[in-house]
């Protein structure tokens, strides 16, 4: 009917105009947040013991960055460490169209040299609870980290309500320097970093030798009767007004420890994981692994005449660190008054079952926020997590390959076609899952160190199945794996050995939640799926600092030819020194 065509076309044009006006008004509201950071060592007493920390404008942890979805964040970093490089990663931000701002030294940029200035500029495209932290060597251990909170725009409803929100950053803390730790790991025989001296809640803790925390009053042990510096006491988590509901944005940036977080007498409703809304789950305590974030709702509905303990306990490794305590105070009480009850003990460190069960219960998307998962993968990688002895060193390896960062960042060498800047031979897609015994320590002297890369077809759907084993010490640890540049659907947590013919059928393709960090439990497997639709080069790694330092990582490249012009500021090292 030709007469109708013109009015239809006009209507379409008007609609298009309205839409672009709406888009304009949104982008007009989008803010640019400028931050200027001096990165420097300072003496800090985070756990009542004075020790050097890498600080941001004198603080460790650094300030929480607040923004709204769609905003741009610009951080100008001055490296004032004198003798140490740096680089800062924005954990959970996908860096769409800005892959050079991911902050991973050796992957997306050269290190920021002492005395130099580097500017990170990126858009925060999704609301959620995120982080930033150092991504150079093991520098995160020294305290260079903080939280990044992206709010939903005004008028966009979230699937839950609350009165106020607070951030809770969990860390572990050593009195040994980052150098002592790194050199120990690279030594033969290996000197492990050991258990942390203390755990921190919002950057504060109380160092107390583990045996003292259990000793009776008036113990004769001199180490346990040392007077504490003035002001050394559990910090106040926050002051609650009776009847109000609080959204706690809880994140873990531990270097080693898996944690259990709980507030005495208060249950928590988990509503967000790594920036995605989950089907709400009520828990008494939250297991949280390094690199993960959760929002939990806590209602101030207990006896308001007293205070309550908030506690962070080590799990998954023998508990040789005193649990961290903070005080949830009710309005009207002395916010520093210790609760009248004994400090909570926390769950048994070696009970794996409740941890796996909680991981499974939190892997389901909120029913109104299910993001459809592609029904099948174009490619599946089965990644065996083992330790190997390689060249006289103990290393972590994935399918026998332990990752070593090249001196030229991958993003530069791959985009600019520099031959020989990394190992061109692709790493193995799988391991011999039929005959490999995951319950036995891996065969010694079996593996290589390489800078090899998995090259993914742009837009392809990729499955990653992480397979745990026992390490050289005949123990199987928990590894939190974090993917840069993407979020993935969490398809399944399995026990024992993954069998592709049998276990693919167990994937949740109906309503899996998306995340950027996922736990691999002892002697089990974890399956995730993602779409390789973000041109760049991206790290996928265990978030334990000691493990990634020992090679527990792989690298993905997709569509690097589609990446825009690389900023000169990410170059200057390795073979990128001489680039025009």
Ligand X SMILES: *[C@@H]1O[C@H](CO)[C@@H](O)[C@H](O)[C@H]1NC(C)=O
The site partner of 479 among ligand X, Cu ion, none (C-beta below 5 to 8 Å per kind) is Cu ion
> Which tokens in the block code for residue 56?
């941001």
Is 542 a binder of Cu ion (CB under 5 A)?
yes
User: Do 292 and 275 form a contact (C-beta atoms < 8 A)?
Assistant: no
Q: Minimum distance between the CB of residue 222 and Cu ion, rounded to whole angstroms? A: 37
Cα 30 off chain centre by: 26
Candidate segments 68-76, 182-190, 255-263, 315-323, binder of ligand X by CB under 6 A: 315-323
User: Do 60 and 143 form a contact (C-beta atoms < 8 A)?
Assistant: yes
Candidate segments 155-163, 265-273, 348-356, 438-446, binder of ligand X by CB under 6 A: 438-446
Residue from 171, 365, 421, 544 in contact with Cu ion (CB under 5 A): 544
The DSSP-derived string for 72-141 is EEEEEEEE--SS--B-EEEET---TT-GGGS--BTTTBPPBPTT-EEEEEEE--S-EEEEEEE-STTGGG
Cβ proximity to ligand X: between 73 and 324 the closer is: 324
Candidate segments 86-94, 121-129, 316-324, 517-525, binder of ligand X by CB under 6 A: 316-324
Q: Minimum distance between the CB of residue 544 and Cu ion, rounded to whole angstroms? A: 4
**Cis before 189 (ω within 30):** yes
Cβ proximity to ligand X: between 151 and 320 the closer is: 320
Residues belonging to the chain: 580
The site partner of 220 among Cu ion, ligand X, none (C-beta below 5 to 8 Å per kind) is none
Q: Minimum distance between the CB of residue 152 and ligand X, rounded to whole angstroms? A: 42
Give the residue carrying structure tokens 């997306």.
Answer: 108
Is 504 a binder of ligand X (CB under 6 A)?
no
The site partner of 320 among ligand X, Cu ion, none (C-beta below 5 to 8 Å per kind) is ligand X
Q: Minimum distance between the CB of residue 196 and ligand X, rounded to whole angstroms? A: 10
**Rounded distance, CA 506 to CA 499, Å?**
11
Candidate segments 174-182, 251-259, 443-451, 545-553, binder of Cu ion by CB under 5 A: 545-553
| Nearest residue to 278 (alpha-carbon basis) of 373, 168, 358, 369 | 369
The site partner of 216 among Cu ion, ligand X, none (C-beta below 5 to 8 Å per kind) is ligand X
Angle in degrees, CA 440, 445, 448, rounded to 5? 110
Cβ proximity to Cu ion: between 390 and 570 the closer is: 390
Is 554 a binder of Cu ion (CB under 5 A)?
no
> Which tokens in the block code for residue 313?
């306990």
Is 195 a binder of ligand X (CB under 6 A)?
yes
Is 155 a binder of ligand X (CB under 6 A)?
no
Residue from 89, 319, 547, 575 in contact with Cu ion (CB under 5 A): 547
Q: Which residue is nearest to ligand X (CB)?
A: 400
Site for ligand X in 535-564 (CB under 6 A): none
Query: Can you say whether residue 139 is alpha, beta or left, with left for phi > 0 and alpha for psi between -120 and 50 degrees?
Result: alpha
Site for Cu ion in 466-485 (CB under 5 A): 479
Which stretch of DSSP H or E encloses residue 413?
Answer: helix 410-415
The site partner of 195 among ligand X, Cu ion, none (C-beta below 5 to 8 Å per kind) is ligand X
One character per residue 61-100, x = contact with Cu ion (rule: CB under 5 A) = ----------------------------------------
- Spell out the residues 6+ positions from residue 574 whose beta carbon is closer than 8 angstroms to its own: 110, 406, 407, 408, 409, 413, 421
Is 443 a binder of ligand X (CB under 6 A)?
yes
Q: Minimum distance between the CB of residue 185 and ligand X, rounded to whole angstroms? A: 15
- Spell out the residues 6+ positions from residue 561 whose beta carbon is closer than 8 angstroms to its own: 415, 535
Site for ligand X in 473-502 (CB under 6 A): 474
Residue from 2, 155, 189, 216 in contact with ligand X (CB under 6 A): 216
Number of neighbours of residue 195 by Cβ within 10 angstroms: 16
| Nearest residue to 521 (alpha-carbon basis) of 462, 469, 443, 483 | 469
Q: Minimum distance between the CB of residue 384 and ligand X, rounded to whole angstroms? A: 7
> Which tokens in the block code for residue 316?
């998954």
Is 317 a binder of ligand X (CB under 6 A)?
yes
**Rounded distance, CA 190 to CA 390, Å?**
12
Cβ proximity to Cu ion: between 62 and 447 the closer is: 447
**Rounded distance, CA 454 to CA 278, Å?**
31
Cβ proximity to Cu ion: between 134 and 544 the closer is: 544
Angle in degrees, CA 494, 498, 501, rounded to 5? 120
List residues near ligand X by CB under 6 A: 195, 216-217, 317-318, 320, 399-400, 431-432, 441, 443, 446-447, 474
């Amino acid at each position: 009917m030709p007469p109708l065509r013109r009015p239809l076309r006009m209507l379409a044009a008007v609609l298009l105009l309205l839409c672009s006006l709406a888009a304009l008004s949104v982008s007009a509201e989008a803010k640019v947040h400028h931050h200027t950071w001096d990165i420097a060592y300072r003496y800090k007493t985070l756990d009542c013991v004075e020790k050097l920390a890498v600080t941001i404008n004198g603080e460790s942890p650094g300030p929480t960055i607040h923004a709204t979805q769609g905003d741009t964040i610009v951080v100008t970093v001055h490296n004032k460490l004198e003798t140490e490089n740096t680089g800062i990663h924005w954990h959970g931000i996908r860096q769409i169209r800005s892959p050079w701002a991911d902050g991973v030294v050796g992957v997306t940029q050269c290190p920021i040299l002492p005395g130099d200035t580097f500017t990170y500029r990126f858009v925060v495209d999704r609301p959620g609870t995120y982080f930033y932290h150092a991504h150079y060597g093991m520098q995160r251990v020294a305290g260079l980290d903080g939280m990044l909170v992206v709010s939903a725009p005004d008028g966009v409803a979230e699937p839950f309500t609350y009165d106020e929100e607070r951030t809770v950053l969990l860390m572990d803390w050593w009195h040994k320097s980052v150098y002592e730790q790194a050199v120990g790991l690279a030594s033969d025989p290996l000197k492990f970093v050991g258990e942390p001296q203390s755990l921190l809640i919002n950057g504060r803790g109380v160092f107390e030798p583990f045996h003292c925390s259990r000793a009776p009053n008036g113990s004769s042990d001199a180490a346990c009767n040392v007077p504490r510096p003035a002001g050394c006491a559990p910090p106040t988590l926050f002051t609650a007004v009776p009847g109000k509901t609080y959204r706690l944005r809880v994140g873990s940036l531990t270097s080693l420890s898996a944690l259990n977080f709980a507030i005495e007498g208060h249950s928590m409703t988990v509503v967000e994981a790594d920036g995605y809304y989950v089907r709400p789950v009520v828990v008494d305590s939250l297991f949280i692994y390094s690199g993960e974030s959760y929002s939990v709702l806590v209602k101030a509905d207990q006896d308001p005449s007293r205070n309550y303990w908030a506690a962070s306990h080590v799990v998954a490794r023998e508990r040789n660190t005193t649990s961290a305590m903070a005080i949830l105070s009710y309005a009207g009480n002395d916010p520093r008054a210790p609760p009248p009850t004994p400090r909570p003990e926390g769950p048994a460190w070696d009970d794996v079952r409740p941890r796996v069960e909680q991981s499974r219960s939190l892997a389901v998307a909120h029913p109104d926020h299910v993001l459809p998962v592609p029904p099948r993968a174009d490619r599946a990688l089965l990644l065996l997590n083992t330790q190997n002895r390689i060249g006289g060193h103990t290393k972590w390896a994935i399918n026998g390959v332990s990752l070593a960062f090249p001196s030229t960042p991958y993003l530069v060498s791959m985009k600019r076609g520099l031959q020989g800047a990394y190992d061109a031979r692709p790493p193995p897609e799988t391991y011999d899952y039929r005959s490999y015994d995951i319950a036995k320590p891996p065969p010694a002297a079996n593996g290589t160190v390489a800078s090899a890369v998995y090259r993914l077809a742009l837009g392809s759907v990729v499955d990653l199945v992480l397979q745990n084993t026992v390490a050289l010490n005949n123990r199987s640890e928990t590894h939190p794996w974090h993917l840069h540049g993407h979020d993935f659907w969490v398809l399944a947590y399995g026990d024992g050995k993954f069998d592709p013919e049998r276990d693919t059928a167990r994937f949740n393709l109906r309503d899996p939640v998306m995340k950027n960090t996922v736990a691999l439990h002892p002697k089990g497997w974890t399956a995730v799926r993602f779409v390789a639709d973000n041109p760049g080069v991206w790290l996928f790694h265990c978030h334990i600092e000691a493990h990634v330092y020992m090679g527990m990582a792989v690298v993905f490249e997709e569509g690097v030819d589609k990446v825009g012009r690389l900023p000169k500021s990410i170059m200057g090292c390795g073979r990128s020194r001489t680039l025009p």
